[in-house]
Amino acid sequence: MELRIENLTKQYGTFIAINNLSAVLTCGVYGLLGANGAGKTTLMRLLCDIQLPTAGTICYDGENIREYGDRYRNVLGYLPQDFGYYPDFTAMKFLLYMSAIKGLSKSYAGQRSLELLDEVDLLQVKDKKIKTFSGGMKQRLGIAQAMLNDPKVLILDEPTSGLDPKERVRFRNLISSFSRNKIVLLSTHIVSDVEYIAGNILVMKKGEFIHKGKPDEIIHTVDGKVWECRVADREVPSLESRFNIGNMRTEGENIILRIISEEKPLEDAVNVTPNLEDLYLYYFSDEDHPQ
């Protein structure tokens, strides 16, 4: 099972949202990491065949998804970013509606919906209207609908944004449990989401993949560029203006700063092992802040 992206480009007028991307995705969880506006959502829409590329192709098991047509939709599960629900539908009715759209038989749809509601811990509230649900509950319902047809390709666009830490952990675990024997592509700008569940990471900036690989391999690209140093409180503003500062923590009278820099920022700075958040800061410090 493979999803092959070849020279994919999407242009809106003169703005290039996706610039000549190529990648091959096989079974496993892929974290698509990038700042807002990097092109993650556009890429996902192209992968879902709900936007047409300006150039390039996407092939599933060697066949162009445009030609694969409805058969491709049969293996596809998608959770878009910020999608609305029908507020007056109950959770169960919503899943039955989505099942009908996904072509599941009525009897199987009922059984599968109950199973999934149980898995996402919404069985108790299956007959409650969606408008009464919290953000986390809605997202869990969202992943349940994406899983209705037991997809081979699961595309999740910023599924954890707006969730509190507890819901985020819960949601991550759900994705992990659903990811067996699937191509899962998870886009986010929340570093910890991909850090824990993604076996592969695609780092995207300005419509291009700037790195692809396993988390450890990618993190190595910033080896030697992450420093820690102990400074006095009054020195922090000046350092903040000169360097890309990561974590800051207070220890007694001093502040321990984590600085991402090509060169040693201070005499007593110590080189430390980078993590994914450092990588994010290294590449996206000029765009937005990680969460």
Partner 1 sequence: MKQLISFEIKKMLRKPLVWAALTGLIVFIALMEYSWVVPGYACIQTENDGKRVTIEGFEAIAINKEISAAYCGPLTDEKARSIIETYDMPDSLWESNDIDPGREYHYSHNLLYDSLSANGFVNPDGSYKGTTVEEVFGALAPGMIIGYSTGWECTINVLLYSFLLWGCILVVIVSPVFSEEYTIHMDALILTGIHGRRKCTLAKIVSAFLITTVGSALLLSVCTLLHLSVHGSVGWDSSVQLGELGYFGSVPYQLNWLQLYGLSCIAWFGGMFVLTSIVLVVSALGKSSFSALVIAFVIYVVPMFLPWNILPESLELWGYLLPITQMQLLKLFRFDLIALGSLTFPPVYLAIPITVIISIAGILWSKRGFSRHQVV
Verify binding: residue 103, partner 1, rule CB under 8 A: yes
- Name the burial class of residue 258, with classes exposed (0-12), middle (13-18) and buried (19+) by CB atoms within 10 angstroms of its CB: buried
Q: Which of 179, 166, 70, 56 is nearest to 121 (CA)?
A: 166
Verify binding: residue 86, partner 1, rule CB under 8 A: yes
Asked if 125 and 137 touch (Cβ cutoff 8 Å), the reply is: yes
Verify binding: residue 196, partner 1, rule CB under 8 A: no
Per-position x/- string for 213-252, each x denoting binding to partner 1 as judged by CB under 8 A, each - no binding: ----------------------------------------
What are 251's two structure tokens?
């220890």
Long-range pairs for 209-217: beta carbons < 8 A, 24 or more residues apart: 209/21, 209/23, 210/283, 212/23, 215/31, 215/276
Which is nearer to partner 1, 157 or 277 (by Cβ)?
Answer: 157
Q: Which of 187, 193, 90, 198 is nearest to 144 (CA)?
A: 90
228 Cβ contact list (under 8 Å, min separation 6): 256, 257, 258, 259, 269, 270, 272
The region of 41-49, 118-126, 164-172, 203-211 touching partner 1 under the rule CB under 8 A is 41-49
Distances (CA, A) of 54 to 46, 57, 200: 10, 9, 27
CB 239 to partner 1: min, Å: 42
**CA–CA separation, 272 vs 264, rounded Å?**
11
β-strands 55-60, 208-213 pairing: unpaired
**CA–CA separation, 206 vs 39, rounded Å?**
7
CB 237 to partner 1: min, Å: 42
Residue from 4, 40, 73, 112 touching partner 1 (CB under 8 A): that is: 73
Verify binding: residue 80, partner 1, rule CB under 8 A: yes
CB 102 to partner 1: min, Å: 5
Backbone angles phi, psi at 18, to 5 degrees: -130, 125
Alpha helices in 161-261 (DSSP H): 165-178, 191-197, 215-220, 236-242
Which is nearer to partner 1, 73 or 258 (by Cβ)?
Answer: 73
For the chain, what's the residue count?
291
Verify binding: residue 108, partner 1, rule CB under 8 A: no
Verify binding: residue 40, partner 1, rule CB under 8 A: no
Residue from 11, 20, 63, 85 touching partner 1 (CB under 8 A): that is: 85
Residue from 9, 37, 97, 150 touching partner 1 (CB under 8 A): that is: 97
CB 224 to partner 1: min, Å: 42
Verify binding: residue 152, partner 1, rule CB under 8 A: no
Residue from 9, 51, 90, 291 touching partner 1 (CB under 8 A): that is: 51
CB 142 to partner 1: min, Å: 9
CB 184 to partner 1: min, Å: 15
Binding footprint of partner 1 on the chain (CB under 8 A): 45, 48-52, 70, 73-74, 76, 78, 80, 82-86, 88, 96-98, 100-103, 106, 145, 149
